[in-house]
Amino acid sequence: MIAQILLKKIAIVDDEQDLAKVTGWDVEEAGFESFIVDDFFREVDVLASYIEKNAQGALCDHRLANYGRTNFSGATLVAELYDRKIPSILITQYTAIDANVSIRKSRRKIPVLLSRDEANAATIKQGIKNCVLELRGQVPSNRKPHRTLVRITNTDTESGEDVLDAIVPGWNPHEAVRFPAVLIPEEIRQDALKGGVRLFAHVNIGADKSEDLYFEKFQLAPELDDNDELT
């Protein structure tokens, strides 16, 4: 009920018009008006301003550049809308491919990520409500950041950029997580890219799935000595 009281119209940003229409039907079934964005935008702030003037929330597909509609991603747009306090959901059919790098770059400011097959009237309605609550400061436990150890296990490149594989013992000591190196401050990035480095970062270690993890505020951890029990 809270989302519907605060929001009336939801903008839909998708470069595939057929999928935009389907999403619009789900939005309307969830109790909102749908507003399909069908213009071309080259700057993320221009599109965010357009949405801000015409709607109170948004659903954004992640891969927006496939048909030349934009030169930025849906994740970047949702992050911009987050800064403007506009509740927005990111939808993608490429979760397994994009979650580690292109989405992870903005994951801190993406309260709700839905795979295409998860998106329906019920999940959209609940997702918008969750966005509204987080923007009000009511952050759920699985989204709250905690300072924790991040142990770099491997360095690689993906889509032409440096990426890091890491173990986050405070989340799951048995599953590695990949994230883009650009999240690490430039002054310590080269140290991290050497591999085998331990860092501290703020991570939402309450996340259920690896694609929901975000990383920020990295610092180099002290080197271990023989008596240090950190693992």
Give residue-wise pLDDT tens across range 45-93: 999 999 999 999 999 999 997 656 678 999 999 999 999 999 999 999 9
* Ramachandran angles phi, psi of 177, nearest 5°: -125, 140
d(CA 163, CA 165): 7
Residues of the chain where predicted confidence (pLDDT) is lower than 50: 1-5, 226-231
| Region 2-135: CATH code | 3.40.50.2300
**Domain residue spans of the chain:** 2-135, 143-220
User: For position 195, what pLDDT does the model report?
Assistant: 75
The candidate with the shortest Cα–Cα distance to 44, out of 88, 10, 78, 90, is 78
Which single residue is written with the structure tokens 């270690």?
A: 205
Concatenated DSSP letters of 55-105: -SEEEEES--TTTTS-SS-HHHHHHHHHHTT--EEEEES-HHHHTTTTTGG
The candidate with the shortest Cα–Cα distance to 176, out of 167, 184, 164, is 167
> Residue 102 corresponds to which tokens in the numbers above?
């292109």
Q: Tell me the sheet residues that pair with 167.
A: 151, 176
User: For position 67, what pLDDT does the model report?
Assistant: 57
Within 117-162, where are the H helices? 121-135
User: For position 39, what pLDDT does the model report?
Assistant: 86
